[in-house]
Amino acid sequence: MNDSPSYFRESDDNFYLLTDKEAVDYIEDSIGTGFVNGIRRIGAEGILATLEDLCSEQGLGYDLITDPELDEKQFLYGNTPYIAIVWLSEDQQDDFENFMFSHDISILLSGTVTDGEKLIDDEIVDD
């Protein structure tokens, strides 16, 4: 498939949500070029379960901002238009955003990887 890391590796990476299948396929094929740090398709359990899994190996956390156009529970646990989470460093952010916008691909900057704290819309998540 690709060489994408299966989990978040370090804090301070930003993560985006993607809806475009072709963009997801392209990013998966470009792993290893330095364009992004990783990508994971969102599982059937939803965005929150996928984030929890991405954080688990290194004991990291997330500061997640939900999509204000969707019901919070639907966004976190339900069927959303988002199909993948892509994460990248601040140094990669401008090139990533410019590429996506120049190709009319919708992205949502949805959060940051943290050292372990888990937040949703600035509220601490209880484990």
Residue count of the chain, please give it. Answer: 127
- SS3 assignment for 7-63: CCCCCCCEEEEECCHHHHHHHHHHCCCCCCCEEEECCCCCHHHHHHHHHHCCCCEEE
Domain boundaries, the chain: 14-124
CATH number of 14-124: 3.90.650.10
Assign 86 to helix, strand or coil. Answer: strand
- The model carries a pTM of 0.93
What pLDDT shows up at residue 1? 43
Q: Are 36 and 99 in contact (CB under 8 A)?
A: no
pLDDT in tens, the chain (127 residues): 455 568 999 999 999 999 999 999 999 999 889 999 999 999 999 999 999 999 999 999 999 999 999 999 999 998 899 999 999 999 999 999 999 999 999 999 999 999 999 999 999 998 6
What pLDDT was estimated at residue 83? 97
User: pLDDT value at position 78?
Assistant: 83
